[in-house]
Structure formats: structure tokens, C-alpha cells
Amino acid sequence: MEQYKIYNITDSNEFEITEPLEEFKQLTFTNTSQTAEVTFDLYVKDQYSNPNNAPSIATYYLLRNITIPFGVSLTVGSDEIPYLKENVRKVYMKSHDPSGQLTLIIK
């Protein structure tokens, strides 16, 4: 039996995906709005030292400004974002809608 992890995004705050993604097969982003499209970003953050040796954080977008019409889902396979399987970093998601209106399903 396949394992699924489901996250409901209910606001526009940055959301950390806590599920380890080294073994994921696909990510499905579902617009849960009844009437409107929703736009979101999927990204990783990496901490590094800048020339002054002060810690800084770089943001790398994997999916940026992706718009999903209402009633539609977007599925992305692990072969389309191999970076997630090769690098263990914190992965974040952010909806541009104040009510979130997204569900993320990890298979």
C-alpha cells in the first residue's frame, strides 16, 4: 500500500514541508477554492556565510508563481524536480491567496 502525506494550506504564510522528500514519487498541488485560481511557490532555503562571515539565507525557487485554475490539480513527478531527492534541505511552500486554498499531496 502506498503512503501519502497530505498538507492543507490555509493561509498565505510560509509553510515548511516537514515530510522527508528523498523518496517521494510525486507531488500533487490541488486548488481547493470553489471559484478562483490560486498561485503558489515551492522553494528551498540554504544558509551560507557572506563575505563578512555573517550568516545569510538564499532562496531557490523550484516552482514560482504557478497558477492553478479552480477545480484543477497539478502533479509533478520526482523526475521533474530531481533536486529534492538529491539534496536534503528545508522545503517551503507559499500560497499567494490569503486563505491558502491549496492541498499538497506527497506520494
Res 68 pLDDT > 90: yes
Residue type, 89: R
Q: Note the pLDDT tens digit of each residue in 13-59.
A: 999 988 877 778 899 999 999 899 999 999 988 777 667 777 778 88
On whether the CB atoms of residues 96 and 42 are closer than 8 A, the answer is no
Confidence of residue 6 (pLDDT cuts 50, 70, 90): very high
Domains of the chain plus CATH, in order, are 5-106 (2.60.120)
| DSSP structure class, residue 19 | S
Res 88 pLDDT > 70: no
Using CA atoms, how far apart are residues 86 and 24, in angstroms rounded to an integer?
11
